Structure formats: structure tokens, C-alpha cells
Amino acid sequence: MFTAFLIKYAEIGIKGRNRYLFEDALVHQIKYALEKCDGQFLIHKTQGRIYVDAQSEFDFDEVVERLQTVFGISGICPVVYVEDEGFDKLVETITGYIADVYPDRNKTFKVQARRARKNYPKDSMTINMDMGEAILKAFPEMKVDVHNPDIVLNIEVREKIYIYSEIIPGPGGMPVGTGGKAMLLLSGGIDSPVAGYMIAKRGVKIDAVYFHAPPYTSERAKQKVVDLARIVSRYTGPIYLHIINFTDIQLYIHEKCPHEELTIIMRRYMMRIAEHIAKETECLGLITGESIGQVASQTMASLVATNEVCELPVYRPLIGFDKQEIVEVSEKIGTYETSIQPFEDCCTIFVAKHPVTKPNVNVIRRHEHNLDEKIEELVATALETDEVIIVE
Ligand code: ATP
Ligand code: MG
């Protein structure tokens, strides 16, 4: 029955010149999302609206599911198009539509017509009244409520006539690409994929970096991160995933620094390297999955220590989330099942029994001097051997 979708988006904050950027980015992301669906689709902007027209058979549920991954969409309205064959014929179509879409008709409704084609013989008000009357006649169990109806039946008169009444919620947010780019520190855990999703939702394109420590971390652990990036890329578009071999740096820190400070010092090197790649790839910030107090390396004092090595802003969208709240988002976006696969990550391999929870930055800096002899060279090598995988 449905052959098109009207895409609703929030209009606040996108007035004037920005509106085109917003709409073009949205159209681009919709195209990307639908590329993987069966069928042909024409995506077009008409008078401040975006339509997805199906030009072949398609799977309704699959298309809706895909559209629900596109940030910037606040609602998805399935549309029926009909030719203009006179008002009586339109009444027939509309009552047929109601019979199909609303098996239970104990509902209130209002008709909301828009006459975009001005040569149509009835104006909007008249369409509202005449159609309302015709519907009441066909379905006496229905009632009109113009203030708070269960069903708003939209009728848009254009070249063809568009009919829609259902709004399926979209993910909200802003289209990816309208907000610059940021570098996500992506581990195999539950938190960082959610963090990337949340920043992307604000319109930010995402690249990612994963610190791999073979043979202490396995190929499977790496594959898990690639899999997570792939799930996140359903929402963000293609992700450039940088795989950094961190083994020698980690072993060197292990050899030279107090063990209770290992995690913090290691995290500081991750941040430094991530920032280096971020700056080279025009990223305007770093993203981590940290949340205050979740583990020893995420106390306020530890965050001071990891934060101070970066100049770029570090976005931590989960900072005030409880684990359970993070889990809920990861289930919603589909990363949870992959995240809980039991592959060791490099943070858990070299952890001390009693890591510091209140690191003193001055002490940490002093202990980092133990690394002076070789660390620059090791970091340079890690950067040179960066393996980039384009995940989509
Ligand atoms: P996650 O579930 O995201 O792994 P976590 O609770 O395990 O988080 P930590 O291991 O302390 O927390 O890591 C904190 C953050 O540091 C992560 O959310 C991630 O952004 C980053 N991070 C940790 N390990 C790695 C890694 N191996 N590669 C890339 N980023 C990492
Ligand atoms: Mg982790």
C-alpha cells in the first residue's frame, strides 16, 4: 500500500543558510542507509520536506529499520500516493485507507489538508470539512477531535495526492557530517561504542582508533572491535578505524614504571597517540567511553591525569551514566551482544592488583621520565605502522 515516506526533522536551529547544509547532509545519509536495502528509491526535497519514493518493490520493515538509523530524522511517515481523480474518488481512497490501517476504529481524528497545488477546486478548510463529514458517514464509530485526536489524517494536494497519518519515531539528533569530525577511542568494551553513537547523534562524523597488543591481545579481540565499528557505522557512515600496535609501548611502561600507575600511564599514551592521529585527520576532538568512578582509571583524579596530556577537547558523553544506563543504550543500538564477547583487551592484561585511584599528576609525570630513553621512538614506530581499515 505505502509507496513513499515523508521524513520529518526538527527544524529548530536550522533556519536560514544552515538549512540547506542540514537537508543535504540528511539526504546524503538517507541514501547511504538505503543503499543496502532491496529496491530503488528516489530521495528528493520538495518545499521544505524530504520524501523517499520507492520506485520498485521494497520490504517495508527493512526500510523503516534503516531510516531509524539516520540521525536528524525525528519521524518517518509512510505515505500513500494517489492520482487526483476528483473528490469522490479521494473519499473512496481515504475510507479504504482508514479501513486498512485502523482495524479498530473506536478513535478520534481530524483531517489536516494542505493544498500545495493552488488550482485544486477545494481549499484546505473545505477539504477538512468535507472529508471529515465523509469519514463520519463511512465510520459512525469515529469521532472528530480537533485538539487532541488519536489520528491526524494528512492530505497533501500536490501533482498527486499524498495521504499519511502514522508517524514512526526516528532517532532524532542531527545528520552526521553537519558537526565536524571526532576521533573515538574504541575498545572492545560496552562503553566506547555507545559514546561514539552519542556524539555522532549530534551530527559529528566519527573516526576511531583501537590499541592492539598482540600477542597479549588476540586477533579475535581485534576482530571484535572491527565488528563493533561496523555496527556503529550503520548510524555514522563509513569509519576510518586506525589499529595501533601498542605492545612495545606497553611492555616498556611495564618495565620502567610503578605497576600501580601502569593503567594511568598507558591511558596517557593512548590519549597522546589518539590526539596525534586526530590532528592529522582534521578531527576536532577525542571521544572516550569514560564514566566517573566506574573503575580506578576513571576517578576524577585519574581523569585529571589522562586529560592533561591532550590539547583537543575530550568528549565523554557517558560521564554521568550508570553502567545499567549504558547497557540499555548498547542494547538499543545493537552493540551489546558483540561487546560482551569474552576477549581480553589490552587494559586488562597488564593491570595491577591495586591501581592508584588518586594519582598525583606530578608523580606520574616524574615516573614517565623513566621512559625518556626509548618512548619517542616507540611512539613514532606505532604511528608509522598504523593500520587503517575502512569499516562500513
Ligand atoms: P569500554 O567498555 O569502552 O572498553 P571500560 O569501562 O573498559 O570502557 P577503560 O578500559 O578504562 O574502560 O577505558 C576507558 C576508555 O578508554 C574506553 O571507553 C575507550 O574510550 C578507551 N580505551 C580503553 N582501551 C582502549 C583500547 N584498547 N583502544 C582504544 N581505546 C581504548
Ligand atoms: Mg575497556
What is the DSSP secondary-structure string of 158-209?
A: SSSEEEE---EE---SB-TTSS-EEEEE--SSSHHHHHHHHHHTBT-EEEEE
| Ligand 1 midpoint to CA 186 (Å) | 7
Mean pLDDT across the stretch 3-11?
Answer: 89
Question: How many CB atoms sit inside 10 A of residue 362's CB?
Answer: 8
What are residue 108's phi and psi, to 5 degrees? -95, 155
With both helix axes pointing from N to C terminus, report the angle between 87-101 and 124-138 in degrees, rounded to the nearest 10. 50
Q: What percent of the chain has pLDDT over 90?
A: 84
pLDDT at 290: 96
Asked if residues 108 and 142 have their Cβ atoms less than 8 Å apart, the reply is yes
Q: Per-residue pLDDT for 12 more than 70?
A: no
| 112 φψ region: left (φ > 0), alpha (ψ -120 to 50), beta (else) | beta
Assess if CATH 3.30.2130.30 describes domain 4-169.
yes
H helix or E strand, kind and range, residue 348:
helix 346-349
pLDDT at 343: 77
Cα–Cα distance for residue pair 326/330, rounded to 1 Å:
6
Residue 287 pLDDT class (50, 70, 90 cuts) = very high
Q: Write down the domain spans for the chain.
A: 4-169, 181-391
Which one is predicted more confidently, 346 or 358?
358
Residue 16 pLDDT class (50, 70, 90 cuts) = confident
Cα–Cα distance for residue pair 375/358, rounded to 1 Å:
25
Which one is predicted more confidently, 1 or 180?
180
Closest by CA to 261, choosing from 343, 180, 360, is: 360
* Cis ω before 175 (30° cut-off from 0): no
Q: Would the CATH topology of 4-169 be identical to that of 181-391?
A: no
Cell numbers placing 303: 581523569
Closest by CA to 382, choosing from 219, 216, 300, 269, is: 269
Per-residue pLDDT of 293-335, as tens digits, reads 888 888 999 999 999 999 999 999 999 999 999 999 999 999 9
Cα–Cα distance for residue pair 271/288, rounded to 1 Å:
10
- Regarding the beta carbon of 182 and ligand 1, being less than 6 Å apart is answered no
Coil/strand/helix, residue 321: coil
Residue 297 alpha carbon, nearest atom of ligand 1: 11
Mean pLDDT across the stretch 375-381?
Answer: 98
Probe ligand 1: pick from 186, 190, 192, max atoms within 8 Å of CB? Answer: 192
Mean pLDDT across the stretch 13-34?
Answer: 84
Residue 348 pLDDT class (50, 70, 90 cuts) = low
Coil/strand/helix, residue 100: helix
Cα–Cα distance for residue pair 96/152, rounded to 1 Å:
16
Cα–Cα distance for residue pair 152/161, rounded to 1 Å:
16
pLDDT at 356: 86
Residue 244 alpha carbon, nearest atom of ligand 1: 28
Cell numbers placing 129: 470539512
CATH class of 181-391: alpha beta
- Regarding the beta carbon of 241 and ligand 1, being less than 6 Å apart is answered no
Mean pLDDT across the stretch 267-278?
Answer: 98
Cα–Cα distance for residue pair 68/28, rounded to 1 Å:
15
Question: How many CB atoms sit inside 10 A of residue 74's CB?
Answer: 15
Distances, alpha carbon 50 to alpha carbons 12, 155, 230, 253, 279, in Å: 16, 16, 27, 54, 35
Q: Name which residue sits closest to atom 10 of ligand 1, judged by CA.
A: 347
pLDDT at 363: 96
Residue 89 pLDDT class (50, 70, 90 cuts) = very high
pLDDT at 201: 96
Residue 347 pLDDT class (50, 70, 90 cuts) = low
Mean pLDDT across the stretch 369-380?
Answer: 97
Q: Per-residue pLDDT for 11 more than 70?
A: no
The pLDDT mean for the chain works out to: 93
pLDDT at 349: 61
Per-residue pLDDT of 156-207, as tens digits, reads 998 899 999 999 999 999 999 888 999 999 999 999 999 999 999 999 999 9
Which one is predicted more confidently, 12 or 313?
313
| Ligand 2 midpoint to CA 290 (Å) | 9
pLDDT at 345: 67
